[in-house]
Structure formats: C-alpha cells, structure tokens
Structure 1
Amino acid sequence: MERQNEMEYVRRLIQETDYLEQMKQLEELEKERKFCRHGLNHVLDVARIAWIQVLEEQLSLEKEMVYLTALLHDLGRIAEYQKGIPHHEAGVTMARMYLEQIGYPKEKCALIYETIEEHRNKNKLNEDFINTIRKADNSSRNCFFCEVTKECKWSEERKNDTIVD
C-alpha cells in the first residue's frame, strides 16, 4: 500500500489539474522554436536526470520534491511568451497555484519556489537542490546532436557535449 502513495502529489499534479493542458499550451507556443523546446518530454528528462544525480551523489532530497520541481520549473515560459515576464519568476507564481491546488504540504513549498526562481542563477552553486535541478536541466540538452548548435546563444562551456558527466 505504501508504494501506491509514494508519488501521490505528482499523480495529483498530472491527473487532477489542468497541468497537462498547460504543457500542451507551452508545446504549442514553442512548436516553431528551432532551439531546445520546453514541453513535457523536457521536464520529465530533467526529473529523471535529477533523480539519478540524487542517487549517485547520495543527496538527502525527496524523490517527489525533485519530480514536482522539475515538472513545474519551466511552466513560467507561457507567461514569458504572452506577457514578457521572465520564466523563472512567472514559474514561481504557477508553482504556488499548482502546489496549493494539489494540497502539497506548505512547509515543503518554499524550497521548490526558491529552486524554480534560482534554477538559472549560476551563483547558487553550493545549494544541492538548486544545483541538482540546474545541472539536470542543462544535461537534458543534446547540444552535441543539435542541428542549430552554431546559432545557439549558449556559450560553448554551457553547451552539453556529452551524454554522461
């Protein structure tokens, strides 16, 4: 019985909200984007890579919190496209709405909000959770296989040129 409830809030997010509709909207907004896209496949890649990092580095992070953060971290891109709000800022607002909607414990939310807001901030390198999500986000990119890598604004140092770090 314990196994069924292991990822209860993740299940709620994808089944009891309009989350998947928002993901479809994001994918629609980015369908003509030639660079990396930010849809359901991307956030699932980030979640899985982050969880692998947690296991390999033996970090004390909760699997469900890792998955929720990854699943929510780029939703703010919708507001970025529609209103010009930076996605990491708009993402916190959307995360608040969804985490409240699914009844996620309030005492765990602050770390998720901070991680979404700071996942692009290179100055937070010593914070395990933020760093794990940031590294997974970058590692999910297949720059070494990208047809438009020469046009990408990412620096050569930031581009992911390998499968495994």
Structure 2
Amino acid sequence: MMMDRITCILKDKEFNMYLKNNEELEEDRIFCHHDITHFLDVCRVATIINLERGLNIDKELIYATGLLHDIGRWVEYKIGKDHAIASAELAREILQRCGFTNVEIEQVDLAIRSHRNKEHVTDLSNILYEADKISRPCLSCKSKDKCKRFLNGEVYNFKY
C-alpha cells in the first residue's frame, strides 16, 4: 500500500522545520527526545496495536497522527503552551496540504490533543496514548533513575 500522504508529511517544509526546532531545543536533554525516531516508533507500535485488536483504523491515519503528535514540542519549550495543543494546531495545516479530508483532520486533531490523557473517546486516541508510552526505549535509558515516570513508581514492562 502506497502512503503518498505520509510521504507528503515527511517532505513537508514546515514539518521538517518543526522537527528541527524540536531537535535544537532538545540538544542537551537527557531524557527521551521528540524526534523522527520517536515519531516512527509511535507509528509502528500503534499499527501493531491496531492489528492486534482488529480495530481497522486506516494505516495512513495512524501514521499521520504518530508523526505529528509531538511536532509542537518546541512551542512548549519556547512559550509554555501544552505541546499536545500546539502539535494539534500545527498539524492541521500540514494535513490539509497533504490531502487529508476534514473528517480525517478532526480525528487526528482529537487524538493529538488528548494524547497525554488517560481517558479516550476514540480508538485512534487510545492507541496513540498507549504507543507513545510503550514505544520509549526505557530499557536502555541512561537517565531512567531521574525520569519522572520511574520516580512516580512506574515499572517498565517491555511489550514491543
């Protein structure tokens, strides 16, 4: 299956500028980065969850959501705006340029806006939340003893 709209996102000038902004502002960050590796890991884990649960969510929708869910992280660093909201806002124009329908844009927007919440109203939102959490390379992280996830008592369980 060709994913032309995903290729469009990956080649989008603003997407790449936002990605670079994230990279520059996280250069000295000791915790997980919000980069293309993280985005693709989220896409792939969300796709696995979708297949395992038989949800039949369109793969392009999953990849669009995964690629764009943290694209506004740099906005949070710069002005303190919640990156989930900033990412959803920045994603809309990219999605429009890449040929997503208004219905699809609304679905992606909702999933991105709520990707940090534990409660979800859509399957897309739920699998984004789960994939974002379990796609992290915590097993090999050199900073996990300082990470708020583990300081709060969370235990790492490898799943994918």
Q: TM-score, normalised by structure 2?
A: 0.91
Q: In the alignment, is residue 86 of structure 1 matched against residue 86 of structure 2?
A: no
Whichever residue aligns with residue 55 of structure 2, its letter is L
1:9 aligns with 5
2:27 corresponds to which of 27, 31, 35: 31
Gaps of 5+ in 2: none
2:143 corresponds to which of 142, 148, 154: 148
Name the SS of the counterpart of 1:25 in structure 2.
helix
Q: Deviations over 1:113-148 (max 9, x none)?
A: 000000111122x63211101111011112232221
Deviation at 1:98, TM superposition (A): 0.8
2:91 corresponds to which of 90, 95, 99: 95
Alignment partners' CA distance in 1, 2:33 and 2:104:
29
Q: TM-score, normalised by structure 1?
A: 0.89
Deviation at 1:42, TM superposition (A): 0.3
Runs of 4 or more, structure 1, over 3 Å off, are none
Matched-pair contact (CA < 8 Å) for 1:17–1:101: no
Tell me the C-alpha RMSD between the 2 structures. Answer: 1.6
Aligned length: 158
Alignment partners' CA distance in 2, 1:164 and 1:72:
23
Aligned-pair identity (%): 35
Deviation at 1:19, TM superposition (A): 1.4
Output aligned runs, 1:43-82, within 5 Å.
Answer: 43-82=39-78
Gaps of 5+ in 1: none
Q: In the alignment, is residue 122 of structure 1 matched against residue 118 of structure 2?
A: yes
